[in-house]
Chains A and B, each alone.
Chain A
């Protein structure tokens, strides 16, 4: 059986998001070199992306917008005060599915980092947990300002992530598996960065790596920083 034969019926499950992680990874690798599957994925994506329109129309509550805009305006003010707009990565090639791992080390050595100047931005009496960094980030310092189930990550001396990637925050639960969050960030020109993290309730650690796409369900590159909460 050829590689293509093995995946002949897989495009539908792929565009519906119904492949288990291991099968999805294998199919993505196959896609990169199979024009026939690329064409079929493109064709079936038209149908899959129309499916949301069949959902009954619901009105989002005004309070939801208020919550979201409060966070957006807070972050916009921080960006403005830093005086540096966010940078845009170059457009991605359409069928580049393999994300570069970057030249970063896997091991997280125990390196207690000093508190960065960014801590002063937030102040307050919340619990503070320092991050331990991989050797490749030896010049960086970062900490987590925790308040209930929310936290603000404050970092300094952070290098820019590889081209086209951002730093992404993950929560590690009791099962030891990192869960994605919506906290993505890039350091400003001076290497400082902040990011809001929510949902810390049952998290045992907060880890950071770099990702090209925010739509990943498991880390695709090594962990660079770890804050152990328990």
Chain B
């Protein structure tokens, strides 16, 4: 049986039974998105590799926990990566070393290789980026600081010198608006 022909949802039970080839097929499909998210969050190649490794080994050892009612396998994997990246950010104080979106020349040299997105991913990414771009800047900022920066709403409120309630409200309103925009572009989860 060529496991690469199986759907994610069929691979997970095989992986949970200890079949390394099923895990490998999952890795091949989702490691790009996982590593891209990790790098976007931690901004350092070695830390992104550690986060991706931790997340996939976690996946391998806990595959039996996948619950398809909670979303796709990809959503589940990226959720694990997100948690691990937040742990890494909070653990290693990468926050203090990171430079917002402005990388130094040295960091650019060490950055991972950018890849051309395939058509499906390019379309999907365009829909998501569009849904983010139409948000008011103050809503987009708190969403990005929270999701990609790993900051709590309390930390963001301090950073922006805004009331906590305002920050939470912006997160909620921004995500609601994004959800509505995405509904027109039909990005699956």
Give residues in A with beta carbon < 8 Å to B.
Answer: 9-13, 15-20, 40, 43-61, 64-65, 67-69, 71-73, 75-76, 79-80, 85-89, 91-92, 94, 166, 179-185, 195, 212-215, 217
Taking CB atoms, residues of chain B closer than 8 Å to A9 are 165, 168-169, 172
Interchain CB contact under 8 A, A49 and B115: no
Minimal beta-carbon separation of A210 from chain B (angstroms): 13
As a 0/1 sequence over residues 121 to 148 of chain B, the CB contacts with chain A under 8 angstroms (1 = contact) are 1001100110110000000000100111
Q: What are 24 A-B contacts with C-beta separation under 8 Å?
A: A13-B167, A13-B172, A17-B82, A44-B176, A46-B179, A51-B148, A52-B40, A54-B129, A55-B39, A56-B114, A57-B117, A58-B32, A58-B114, A59-B114, A60-B32, A60-B35, A64-B31, A65-B27, A76-B19, A86-B64, A91-B67, A94-B67, A179-B91, A184-B62
Known contacts A9-B172, A45-B189, A214-B80; A16/B69 CB under 8 A: no
How many chain B residues touch A (Cβ–Cβ < 8 Å)? 87
Any A CB within 8 A of the CB of B160: no
- Cα A49 to Cα B71 with chains together (Å): 9
Interchain CB contact under 8 A, A60 and B112: yes
Interchain CB contact under 8 A, B86 and A17: yes
Minimal beta-carbon separation of A12 from chain B (angstroms): 3
- Cα A185 to Cα B62 with chains together (Å): 8
List which B58-93 residues lie within 8 A (CB) of chain A.
Answer: 58, 60-62, 64-65, 67, 69-71, 75, 78-84, 86-87, 91
- Cα A46 to Cα B113 with chains together (Å): 29
- Cα A94 to Cα B114 with chains together (Å): 37
Taking CB atoms, residues of chain A closer than 8 Å to B69 are 91, 94
Minimal beta-carbon separation of A84 from chain B (angstroms): 9
Known contacts A182-B57, A183-B61; A16/B143 CB under 8 A: yes
- Cα A11 to Cα B52 with chains together (Å): 27
Interchain CB contact under 8 A, B70 and A58: no
Interchain CB contact under 8 A, A12 and B174: yes
Interchain CB contact under 8 A, A11 and B19: no
Minimal beta-carbon separation of B127 from chain A (angstroms): 8
Known contacts A44-B172, A51-B147, A215-B83; A75/B60 CB under 8 A: yes
- Cα A217 to Cα B87 with chains together (Å): 7
- Cα A17 to Cα B37 with chains together (Å): 15
Interchain CB contact under 8 A, A79 and B18: yes
Interchain CB contact under 8 A, A184 and B58: yes
The listed residue (B35, B81, B131) touching A64 by CB distance below 8 A is B35
Interchain CB contact under 8 A, A73 and B113: no
The listed residue (A43, A57, A61, A185) touching B176 by CB distance below 8 A is A43
- Cα A9 to Cα B163 with chains together (Å): 13
Interchain CB contact under 8 A, B128 and A51: yes
- Cα A212 to Cα B64 with chains together (Å): 11
Interchain CB contact under 8 A, A51 and B152: no
